[in-house]
Amino acid sequence: MNTPPSSTFFSAPPDWSWLVVLYFFVGGLAGGCYFIAVMIDFLGRPTDRPLARLGYYISFPCIVLSGILLTLDLHRPLRFWHMLIESNTFQPMFKPWSPMSLGSWALTIFGLFSLIAFVSALSEEGRIDSPRARMWRPPAPVGAVISIIGGLLAFFVAGYTGVLLAVTNRPIWSDSPLLGMLFVISAASISASLMLLLAHRSRWTMPGVNALHRLDGWVVLLELIVLIAFLVSLGPVFRALVSAWGVLLLLGVIILGMGIPLALFWRRDLLGEHNVLGIAVLVLIGGFLLRLIIVFSAQGV
Q: How far is the CB of 230 from another protein (least distance, A)?
A: 10
CB-based burial label for 173 (10 Å; 0-12, 13-18, 19+): buried
Phi, psi of 235 (to 5 degrees): 60, -135
- Comparing CB distances to another protein, the nearer of 122 and 240 is 240
92, β-bridge pairs = 85
| Gyration radius from the chain CA atoms | 20
Does residue 11 touch another protein according to CB under 8 A?
yes
The one segment of 95-103, 110-118, 134-142, 244-252 that binds another protein by CB under 8 A: 95-103
Q: How far is the CB of 149 from another protein (least distance, A)?
A: 14
The count of residues interacting with another protein (CB under 8 A) is: 80
Helical axes 18-43 vs 179-201, angle rounded to 10°: 70
- Comparing CB distances to another protein, the nearer of 63 and 219 is 219
The one segment of 82-90, 117-125, 137-145, 254-262 that binds another protein by CB under 8 A: 82-90
Q: How far is the CB of 13 from another protein (least distance, A)?
A: 7
3-state SS assignment for residue 206? coil
Find out whether 59 and 118 touch, Cβ atoms under 8 Å. Answer: yes
Does residue 12 touch another protein according to CB under 8 A?
yes
- Comparing CB distances to another protein, the nearer of 98 and 202 is 98
The rounded distance, in Å, linking the Cα atoms of 32 and 36 is 6
String marking each residue 237-276 x if it binds another protein according to CB under 8 A: -------------------------------x------xx
Find out whether 124 and 40 touch, Cβ atoms under 8 Å. Answer: no
Q: How far is the CB of 179 from another protein (least distance, A)?
A: 7
- Comparing CB distances to another protein, the nearer of 93 and 255 is 93
Does residue 99 touch another protein according to CB under 8 A?
yes
Find out whether 101 and 57 touch, Cβ atoms under 8 Å. Answer: no
**Considering only CA atoms, which of 18, 14, 15 is closest in space to residue 288?**
18
Among 3, 126, 242, 272, binds another protein (CB under 8 A): 3
- Comparing CB distances to another protein, the nearer of 128 and 139 is 139
Distance between start and end Cα atoms, the chain? 16
In angstroms, what CA-CA distances link 123 with 164, 177, 278?
A: 36, 42, 33
The rounded distance, in Å, linking the Cα atoms of 77 and 68 is 10
- Comparing CB distances to another protein, the nearer of 1 and 242 is 1
In angstroms, what CA-CA distances link 45 with 29, 48, 125, 274?
A: 23, 5, 16, 26
The one segment of 14-22, 53-61, 123-131, 135-143 that binds another protein by CB under 8 A: 14-22
Q: Among residue numbers 27 through 66, which ones bind another protein (CB under 8 A)?
A: 35-36, 39-40, 43-44
- Comparing CB distances to another protein, the nearer of 51 and 253 is 51
Q: Among residue numbers 106 through 135, which ones bind another protein (CB under 8 A)?
A: none
85, β-bridge pairs = 92
Q: Among residue numbers 172 through 231, which ones bind another protein (CB under 8 A)?
A: 173-174, 177-185, 188, 205, 207-215, 218-219, 222, 226
Does residue 86 touch another protein according to CB under 8 A?
yes
